A and B are shown apart, each in its own frame.
Chain A
Amino acid sequence: MVAAPFRYERVSSFEEAVRALHERGEDAKVIAGGQSLVPMMNLRIARPEWLIDVNPVGAGPIEDHGGYLRLPALTRHRAIEEAEVVRRRCPILAEAAAHVGNVRTRTRGTVGGSLAHADPAAELPCVAVALGAEVTVLGRDGARAVAADDLLVSYLTTTLAPDEVVVEVRVPTLGPRGGWSFLEMSRRSSDWMVVGVAALVELDAAGAVTAASVAVGGVAERAWLVPAEALADLLGAAPEEALLARVAERAAAMLRPEDDVQASGEYRRRLAAVLGRRALAQAVARAGLSEAELAPRGNGEQT
């Protein structure tokens, strides 16, 4: 299959892109890396009349602003995966980027494109939600900041207006006693995740949890941020493994994943509980506690 004919315009700034989108109307789409849009066009699932190519805008460097990293929207997955500053300051993002598609996908695909595309089984939206990342969006009335969690709505649906573009993403950096984990299960390497879990914890000097954030991908119509009340038992507690397992089980019980060709909904829910527990345990371990300091495994616990 090949894409249906369309008209094409290259722009050299995001302001131009906004103008072009406004002029061309709802049948215009932005193309960045094109790793999701072009397959959809080749399969004739998408038939935009205009493509506005923002690649000439360029990415520029990833900047460390202390509390957060600023990633220009056109930052390629490959750059996120390999950038020393990301590996050091926000390692969960590098880990998630390494799971995206194949090497060619990562060469071309962009962070802004992944968030704007809003695939519920994509890695970066899941991690962005867990991190509390902030997305800068440019429209005709100027720029606005929106939490990644407020950007995502449903399958391939965001709160972006048709004439708005993502221009940058700000991701919080890892705190001194912060731990992280990103785990995903897919049927084959490079496939979409069946389930993926991003977990972040912060511990105090005594090893008690002071903050926790978990997002799960592949289980709902969008990356799912585990509600604070489901993680409340962790706060102030010693993160013993039995507690982590209980919290993960409780959070997974809130899910109603659908069946699809990759897995049944029930399997996904079970996987969310297992990966959730493992991810929390890994995040805790990375926050400074050794495995030996973790409480022994619970009886009969599935690993």
Chain B
Amino acid sequence: MSDPGRQRVTFTVNGEDRDAWVFPHDSLLDVLRDALGHHEVRYGCGEGVCGTCTVLLDGEPVSGCLLLAVQADGCSIVTVRGLAPGGDLHPLQACFLRNGAAQCGFCTPGMLLTAWALLQRDPRPSRERIRRELVGNLCRCTGYSKILDAVEEHAAQAAEGSGEPRRGAPVGREGSGEGTGGDA
């Protein structure tokens, strides 16, 4: 076949403007990891099933392995590092830590981002809703109960006003991190 050629893409990652020259077949996951040094986004299954490569695209969770980097051109991307831009743990991360919700830690970034996106949508989700939303984020250490506990605890704290839900919210385009995942 003919040379597919590289093209330049620009997007924000955790609020920072980034650009890269990519082939059409480069996944966003590969570009984030290999070109931009975001090793906190992890490669799991490559089929969109395991959730370890979850990133927020304009505020909505997507599988980085199934999104072509060229498709993210112009978008806002948030990785788990964006949850704690200053280096201090986000309250949701603190709840994970306190509840022992991270074992080997491989799935944790995807869990955190999926849970964070849910809490933006529904600040007081039922345990069942949390469970349903986290379907598709696989933990091979079988630590699901503690993960559910952690998300529930953070939601309760935020509702009581002690969880500082706004502090450390992911930085996205214009720093809002509250994109609604438009159509494109």
Binding site for B on A (CB under 8 A): 1-8, 10, 31, 34-35, 38-39, 41-43, 49, 51, 53, 55-60, 74, 76, 78, 101-105, 107-108, 189-190
**Nearest neighbor of B60 in chain A, beta-carbon distance:** A107
12 pairs from A and B in contact (CB 8 Å cutoff): A1-B46, A2-B25, A6-B1, A7-B2, A8-B68, A38-B67, A39-B46, A76-B183, A102-B137, A103-B114, A103-B135, A104-B136
The one of B2, B62, B65, B71 that contacts A42, using a Cβ cutoff of 8 Å: B65
Are A2 and B27 in touch, CB under 8 angstroms? yes
> What secondary structure prevails in chain B residues at the interface with A?
loop
Q: Other than A103-B114, A107-B57, A108-B62, give 4 A-B pairs with Cβ distance below 8 A.
A: A2-B27, A8-B68, A102-B137, A190-B136
CB distance from B128 to the nearest CB of A (A): 11
Whether A104 lies near B183 (C-beta < 8 A) is: no
Cα distance A3–B48 in the bound complex, in angstroms = 14
A103→B136 contact, CB < 8 A: yes
In the bound complex, CA of A35 to CA of B67 (Å): 9
**Which residue in A7, A59, A60 is a CB contact (below 8 Å) of B1?**
A7
Of all chain A residues, which has the CB nearest B63?
A104
Q: How far is the CB of B51 from the nearest CB of chain A, in Å?
A: 7
The reply to whether A59 and B47 contact each other, CB–CB distance below 8 Å, is no
**Contact among A7, A51, A101, A108 with B67 in the assembled complex (CB-CB below 8 Å):** A108
* B104 proximity list for chain A (CB < 8 A): none
In the complex with contacts A2-B30, A55-B184, A104-B62 CB distance below 8 A: yes
Q: Is the Cβ of A5 less than 8 Å from the Cβ of B25?
A: yes
Minimum C-beta distance from B177 to chain A (A): 16
- Contact in complex: A58, B135 (CB < 8 Å): no
Check A105/B4 contact, CB under 8 A, given A2-B27, A3-B25, A8-B24. Answer: no
B21 within 8 A of A: no
Smallest beta-carbon distance B78→chain A, Å: 14
Selected from A35, A42, A51, A102, the residue in CB contact (under 8 A) with B24 is: A51
Question: In the assembled complex, how far is the CB of residue A40 from the closest CB belonging to chain B, in whole angstroms?
Answer: 9
Q: Say whether A39 contacts B66, CB under 8 Å.
A: yes
Q: Contacting A103 at CB < 8 Å: which of B46, B47, B49, B133?
A: B133
